[in-house]
Amino acid sequence: MITRLLRHPTFALLIMASLASPFASAQVAVEIVGDTAHATILLADGQGGTYDAEVTIAFDAPLNLTASSLNLTAELFNPADPVMRSRLPAGLSFTDAFPMIVTVEPPTLDWIFTTAFDGAEDGSGALSFRNEYLLEIHTHNLAWSPAGPLRLLKAPVGGSFADVTEDVLEGSARARGRGGAFSQFVIGVDANNSGLPLILGVIIPKTSALSLRLVSAVLDDLLRGQLVGLLADVLTAVTSAIVNPVLGCTNALVPLDQFMASVQQNADSGNIANLWRAQHDVVNDAGELESLAQTLRFSLLRCTGAP
């Protein structure tokens, strides 16, 4: 099994102070059921407004999954804050109806914080998982509409947000997406929701982001060549979508699905690094590639007119 090492280790304890925050701990309840974490969040803005969310994170083969090792916190922010707005790419915005940011930054916990060990614990207390997780934010503060503009956005702590949406479902509003690493999540609004703005402002940038991530992955030459070829076919189809959106986006789905299937197969067989852990000493190539491919697929489906 490939385990890709980071060249520059990062600090895993950046968010430890938030565990002691009365605001966060009093209003964020986390429950672990099997390989899934459920968080119930209720925050007040001090002016009579309340904001609720249910956050669900389903893992693939997690180890040491506990509320403490997950370290999920939430807080309200000002959508008009220029610093926050500077973290958004063109076309994306925050909504006043749900100014909540969820941070998931698993720390490296000392063994004394852990309890009795079972088959899903190794005694370190530090969270790890294979491949990717599926994260969903469900809130009653937002209303779902078919083919609407709501999106799940993800960013490194203090960094730039990117659209990682895999689906937006009804039930008030439920935005979900995948990831191979953690950080901060918000629900935003995308103005580039259809037509040419969707292709130029979302689909082509997502295709480029996936291609760039593939370049940084550690792969053998044969596998890299196969995946590069599939993405070249995706890009060719996406480029043709400028003239014929439905046909071009439909044609892009086939090689993209083949790309995702190849990533999954090679991750399972050990040819692509697919481990994430709280020590921040490895890079989860498979999980990151899967996340970028899934959100590209979501946008391609929107381009074809699928709900």
Determine the number of helices (DSSP H) and then strands (DSSP E) in the chain.
Answer: 8, 16
Q: How far apart are CA 39 and CA 49, in angstroms?
A: 20
215 plus 141 within the same structural domain: no
Looking at the fold, whether 250 and 292 belong to one and the same domain comes out as yes
Beta carbons of 252 and 237 less than 8 angstroms apart: yes
Q: Tell me the per-residue pLDDT of 166-222, one tens digit each, with 9 for 90 and over.
A: 999 998 999 999 999 999 999 999 999 999 999 999 999 999 999 999 999 999 999
pLDDT value for 171: 87
How many other CB atoms sit within 10 Å of the CB of residue 38? 14
Q: Facing residues of 165 across strands?
A: 177
pLDDT category of residue 307 using cuts at 50, 70 and 90 = confident
The whole-number average pLDDT for the span 122-131 is 85
Alpha carbon distance 189, 151 (integer Å): 6
The number of folded domains in the chain is 2
Domain co-membership, 43 together with 129: yes
Decide if pLDDT at 3 tops 50.
no
Clarify whether residues 106 and 44 are in a common domain: yes
Q: Classify burial at 83, counting beta carbons within 10 Å of its beta carbon; exposed 0-12, middle 13-18, buried 19 or more.
A: exposed
Output the pLDDT for position 108: 81
HSE-up (13 A, CA, CB side) for residue 78: 5
Query: Which domain-ending residue is among 190, 214, 240?
Result: 190
Mean per-residue pLDDT, 116-141: 83
Q: What is the per-residue pLDDT for 13?
A: 32
Helices 285-304 and 245-268 cross at an angle (nearest 10°) of 160
Q: Is the CA virtual torsion 278, 60, 119, 3 positive or negative?
A: negative
**What does the block give as tokens for 39?**
């968080």
pTM as predicted: 0.88
Same domain, 42 and 140: yes
- Dist. CA 18–CA 103, nearest whole Å: 10
CATH number reported for the structural domain that contains residue 152 in this entry: 2.60.220
CATH number for the domain spanning 257: value is 1.20.1440.60
Statement to judge: residues 53 and 86 lie in one domain: yes
User: pLDDT digits over 243-255, tens only?
Assistant: 999 999 999 999 9
Q: Would you say residue 262 has pLDDT above 80?
A: yes
* Residues 168 and 202 placed together within one structural domain of the fold: no
Domain range for residue 222?
195-304
